[in-house]
Amino acid sequence: MNKGADLYDGTEFEEYMAEIRKHVCSRCIERPPDGPPCQPLGKRCGVEINLPQLVEAVHKEHSNWMAPYIEHFHEDVCAHCVNRQTEHCPCALEFLLELAVEAIEAVDERKQKAAQ
């Protein structure tokens, strides 16, 4: 991975992005050479362009099953995605959603523990 600045550095989503880079992007078979970040390399992935919406969709759910997360993803993220009906869709996030949910919930757990 590119060790330079990342897309959400300095924002409330920085920790989510870092965790997703570690657990999702590291396993992505669509990762371009020198990525991530992938957007500056011309690859538009939901992980990067929709991160705030993705985090919000995951926060709506807390389940041991993936089905409700998939539903929120399609309704709240994909429905408004700028990639829809372009060659960039479906993106890697469609296939790596489970890992992304785990990463987001791991950050939430850490934040909760830190706040206690």
Chain residues binding ligand SF4 by CB under 6 A are 24-25, 28, 30-31, 35-36, 38, 43, 45-48, 50, 77-78, 81, 83-84, 88-94, 96
CB of 90 to ligand SF4, least distance (A): 4
CB of 22 to ligand SF4, least distance (A): 11
Give the E-state strand segments of the chain in sequence order.
none
Provide the residue type at 44 as one letter: R
CB of 113 to ligand SF4, least distance (A): 26
The helix (H) or strand (E) run that includes residue 53 is helix 51-59
CB of 81 to ligand SF4, least distance (A): 3
CB 100 within 8 A of CB 54: yes
Rounded Cα gap, residues 19 and 1, in angstroms? 13
| CA distance between the termini of the chain | 33
Identify which of residues 58 and 96 has a Cβ nearer to ligand SF4 in the complex.
Answer: 96
Identify which of residues 39 and 105 has a Cβ nearer to ligand SF4 in the complex.
Answer: 39
3-state secondary structure of 10: coil
